[in-house]
Chain A
């Protein structure tokens, strides 16, 4: 009798370990994004098409490592990242296949498309400047380059160089102005820091509200999130700062942007469903949901921006080939380390 109990227990243990039964009508994602809005949209997609969306969420490099080593056996059909650099890396590793369906590409503003055709943008965000409305006038600000001016000594706030958004920004500067200018920019900016880099983008905004610095480099949607926060103090912190899109002047490159993007894996087993999902995510309905919920910008020109985001007005974005954000990554890291940007 006792043995019987043991045996059933062991069987139960193992059976609870086995994978969920697979339905064939599905699509599998490895995603770096873990926003609630994604989950909402996947459920909506399932409702519309009957295709189940399965997701593994982790850091981009971890997912790439998994994808690379799994090779042909990989169950993943799609790879999602919040950084064009990582999508470029996936392309370099030979993990993605080209997407040429016009039903997808027609959804997307031309200048945001991958020039090589391997990945498709889902949303974009700008790395902007926010400033203390009390201590800084908007007309004092102009470009990223201007931030190294003496007048900003001990006033600049930004997070750590291990953050992919900063790495992408510096990569874009390397691409636009060359590595020497980028080095100079980084080291002079470091000497203008109000404090050692730390915390999140939101913490930089809070630090402005707390008076620890006057200008911060942050992603645009964080301001949207602060302004839509139900926490009064967070809302106030969002209100205490003004939003400034740098590099808008004539001859300037435009404000630095990065995308969230999606790529079809080399060995995708549910290719048809995968393409259907991309088409849905870049369509007007999903794009509008993105901009209203996570305050990112829509890549589909037919989708409207959310009210909060619209208040900041239109801006000219840097039209740099976003793959260069990956190409110049190694150089950017080296510059960070030499400049002492922690």
Chain B
């Protein structure tokens, strides 16, 4: 017994060591950023600090607030209705409510500002047909509040997805008890259901907030100066990349601090609710409820997906004769290629980290892999900069030119999006009983064999979900690709952006359409898989 335990420990040591090495390799860009943090801040830093940062931070909070409120409005109610009520088109809505995730935030914002602008179709139509009404619509739509709503439309699916799963898993016993105590539907929702779903809501909102923090294209266009805009003001306008890095580091520290705080409070109030109590059968809604259902489900779908899609589709058709199809094909292939390769690496590394975390008791590697997740909060261009510094100044690499190779591009993608791939795998692994490891240990099965024969098949679905989610994010990725790409390498996202930024929205439409189509197909696939999982869980 003694011998076996020692053997097991050594076996794990290898895994832990490997995980530490991979983790540290992925932390290198962060390391390069933080070495700059401890350099004496330049004049520019204090200058920004004194003049603009308060204003920029306020804008950031305000934008996050509006976006979150609208993400909640658009996400929570449909998730509740779809999970609990039986109504016509329920399955349809359940499918399409995810789709805005396929539209990058900058395309959403550019599309709407064009749609609503003075020369856009809405005002044109009104001027022609309803000249009395037209002046009321002739507004300046480039406002922070409008941007918040648009970002809410683009990002609410994060909230919807998280809550949809959570709502479906709440057993009927809670709801029955609440009803027996005489709570109205509305009261029950706020007093029982929402508190139970708080962790899910927060995890969805967290992603929304991260996306808003990272957003630069739309924010710049709308003239809303956020913290990220401050980072780029330091770099692009003042030419001080050190200040930009220092500001980015402060952002990382702040988000890291919030995450730790959140984890601590979560630990304190950690409670488990049984998910496998009897499922509540779907309710047939009353007439008034039915109205609320259709409103809350169709508004986000129409505004967040259908209208932009139709507009982009219409523009593409108008441009159809001028489309260079071989280029469209090349760019689609490029996008799919890099997204695919990076997603595969991300999934493998995420699985590896999480598995080691599970089998070892060592805190150190958990901490390191958790820090790698913070790559998600760093603005893409700053990651690009960090990776350039790493691959030109780190002693091992500095004699060869690696920047501009696919290897470095993929490395930067992995650094940025590891967190996205990790979270679905983590929640799946967490659900598995510890008994699996113990049994395989007792049976003398090697850790690798256990991973391959037990965990891989059991978590297959989670891996596929993680793959799709990362893939879609990579498909939309812009700033890292711009700064690190090899010669003559364009993706759908870079081409869309290049046209859009030159104010040639029509020429960009076919490329954005392609992003949306590929993303939508994958999201529909994702939906199909998650549905199957919910069903499997229910019959468990």
Residues of chain A touching chain B, judged by Cβ–Cβ distance below 8 Å, are 13, 16-20, 28, 34-35, 54-62, 65-66, 69-71, 73-75, 89, 159-162, 167, 195-203, 206-207, 209-212, 222, 225, 231, 233-234, 236-237, 329-330, 333-334, 337-338, 342
Q: Does B85 contact A (CB under 8 A)?
A: no
- Minimal beta-carbon separation of A234 from chain B (angstroms): 5
Q: Does B498 contact A (CB under 8 A)?
A: yes
Instruction: For A75, list chain B residues within 8 Å (CB).
Output: 401, 404, 487
Q: Which of B232-240, B270-278, B520-528 contacts A (4 or more CB under 8 A)?
A: B232-240
- Minimal beta-carbon separation of A216 from chain B (angstroms): 13
Instruction: For B232, list chain A residues within 8 Å (CB).
Output: 162
Instruction: For A199, list chain B residues within 8 Å (CB).
Output: 113, 142, 221-223
Q: In the complex the two chains form, is B404's CB within 8 Å of A65's CB?
A: no
Interface residues in B375-413 by Cβ distance below 8 A to A read 381, 384-385, 388-389, 392-393, 399-401, 403-407, 410
Instruction: Out of A54, A209, A342, name the residue touching B119 (CB < 8 Å).
Output: A209
Q: In the complex the two chains form, is A333's CB within 8 Å of B117's CB?
A: no
Query: Hey, what's the 0/1 contact readout for B333-358 against A, CB within 8 Å counting as 1?
Result: 00001000100100000000000000
Q: In the complex the two chains form, is A59's CB within 8 Å of B140's CB?
A: no
Q: Given contact pairs A55-B488, A200-B221, A212-B140, enumerate 5 new A-B contacts (beta carbons under 8 Å).
A: A66-B404, A159-B223, A197-B223, A199-B222, A210-B123
Q: Does B124 contact A (CB under 8 A)?
A: yes
Instruction: For B422, list chain A residues within 8 Å (CB).
Output: none
Q: In the complex the two chains form, is A13's CB within 8 Å of B239's CB?
A: no
Closest to B410 in A: A17
Assuming the contacts A34-B502, A62-B384, A162-B237, asked whether A196 and B404 have C-beta atoms less than 8 A apart, the reply is no
Instruction: For A18, list chain B residues within 8 Å (CB).
Output: 405-406
Instruction: For A206, list chain B residues within 8 Å (CB).
Output: 117-119
Q: In the complex the two chains form, is B400's CB within 8 Å of A62's CB?
A: no
- Minimal beta-carbon separation of B467 from chain A (angstroms): 14
Instruction: Out of B222, B337, B393, B401, name the residue touching A74 (CB < 8 Å).
Output: B401
- Minimal beta-carbon separation of B495 from chain A (angstroms): 9
Q: In the complex the two chains form, is B138's CB within 8 Å of A28's CB?
A: no
Query: Hey, what's the 0/1 contact readout for B214-233 against A, CB within 8 Å counting as 1?
Result: 00000011111100010011
- Minimal beta-carbon separation of A159 from chain B (angstroms): 8
Instruction: For B222, list chain A residues within 8 Å (CB).
Output: 198-199
Instruction: Out of A34, A89, A207, name the residue touching B118 (CB < 8 Å).
Output: A207
Instruction: For B140, list chain A residues within 8 Å (CB).
Output: 195, 207, 212
Q: Does B51 contact A (CB under 8 A)?
A: yes
Instruction: For A16, list chain B residues within 8 Å (CB).
Output: 337, 341, 406
Q: Does B126 contact A (CB under 8 A)?
A: no
Interface residues in B392-450 by Cβ distance below 8 A to A read 392-393, 399-401, 403-407, 410
Instruction: Out of B341, B385, B482, name the residue touching A17 (CB < 8 Å).
Output: B341
Q: Does B171 contact A (CB under 8 A)?
A: no
- Minimal beta-carbon separation of B240 from chain A (angstroms): 9
Q: Does B359 contact A (CB under 8 A)?
A: no
Q: Does B476 contact A (CB under 8 A)?
A: no
Closest to B341 in A: A13
A160 to B389, CA, bound (A): 30
A324 to B399, CA, bound (A): 36
Instruction: Out of A35, A56, A60, A342, name the residue touching B485 (CB < 8 Å).
Output: A56
Q: Does B483 contact A (CB under 8 A)?
A: yes
Q: Does B11 contact A (CB under 8 A)?
A: no
- Minimal beta-carbon separation of A13 from chain B (angstroms): 6
Instruction: Out of B124, B138, B225, name the residue touching A211 (CB < 8 Å).
Output: B138
Interface residues in B461-507 by Cβ distance below 8 A to A read 482-483, 485-489, 494, 498, 501-503, 506
Closest to B402 in A: A73
Instruction: For B225, list chain A residues within 8 Å (CB).
Output: 162, 342
Q: In the complex the two chains form, is B392's CB within 8 Å of A59's CB?
A: no
Instruction: Out of A65, A195, A196, A197, name the residue touching B385 (CB < 8 Å).
Output: A65
Q: Does B241 contact A (CB under 8 A)?
A: yes
